[in-house]
Amino acid sequence: MSAPSSQRSERATAVLISLIVGIALGVFQSLVWLISEPLTSSVTSSPSFVAFLLLVAPLIWVIAFFIQGIWIGHRTGQTRDSVLTGLFSGVFGGIVAAVGHVLVITLSLHSSNQDPITVAYSTLGVATFTMMLTLGAGSGFGVLGGLIGQYFSPVPPALPSKPAVPPPFYPSNPPYYGAPQQPTSSSRPSQPQAGEG
């Protein structure tokens, strides 16, 4: 009775960790974009620092997804849980990062003379691209971490389930192709004997 409840608590913990990691990564990425695109022209940051942040930010995401996959794979012993937590973290982080990037673009272009339709399309494109990257990275690096975590997991691997369909029936000694058929007594009509009738 305790096995299903402990499995439920493990999954609830995994979803909670996914939510926390995803939101933290999304806020981090939003801050990176806020630093890289200043809202006023008087506030500038060092170009080398901005380049460093923009190069290191995806690496931080990958490392977080990888470590999360290792941790979940080690706890549950299954890679599918690592994939799901990476996917959920990617969804949560991608939503927060996309909203943050849309806000930064909208605030930085508010005072400029840009065409609103062009800004809307570029913002939608960036948000879509961000979601695709976070989903792909979350599931991909989640499964890689899950494989490592599963290898070192103390949880025994799940046994394969029995097939839903039984194997087909084969007769014990089927005749080979082209073998002469043995006549059966019921298939042969009775013929009169010589001398009868």
pTM above 0.85, yes or no: no
Sequence length of the chain is 197
Residues 116-147 pLDDT 10s: 777 778 888 888 888 898 889 999 999 999 99
Secondary structure of 93-151 in HEC code, one letter for each residue: HHHHHHHHHHHHHHHHHCCCCCCHHHHHHHHHHHHHHHHHHHHHHHHHHHHHHHHHHHH
Going 60 to 66 to 69 to 73, the CA torsion angle's sign is: negative
Residues 159-193 pLDDT 10s: 777 777 777 777 666 666 666 666 665 555 556 66
More confident residue, 153 or 68: 68
For 164, how many CA atoms within 13 A lie in the half-sphere containing its CB? Answer: 0
On average, the pLDDT of the chain sits at: 80
| Structure confidence at residue 79 as a pLDDT band (50, 70, 90) | confident
Helix, strand or coil, per DSSP, at residue 153:
coil
- Look at residues 134, 143, 147, 23 and name the one whose alpha carbon lies nearest to residue 84: 143
Q: Report which DSSP code applies to 166.
A: P
Answer whether residue 196 shows pLDDT above 60. Answer: no
In angstroms, the first-to-last Cα distance of the chain is 83
| Structure confidence at residue 157 as a pLDDT band (50, 70, 90) | confident
Average pLDDT (56-79) is 90
For residue 102, what pLDDT is reported?
Answer: 82
Distance (Å, whole) CA 183 – CA 176: 16
- Amino acid, single-letter form, for residue 145: G
Residue 172: Cβ within 10 Å count: 4
Distance (Å, whole) CA 112 – CA 107: 10
Answer whether residue 1 shows pLDDT above 50. Answer: no
145, 68 contact by CB (below 8 A): yes
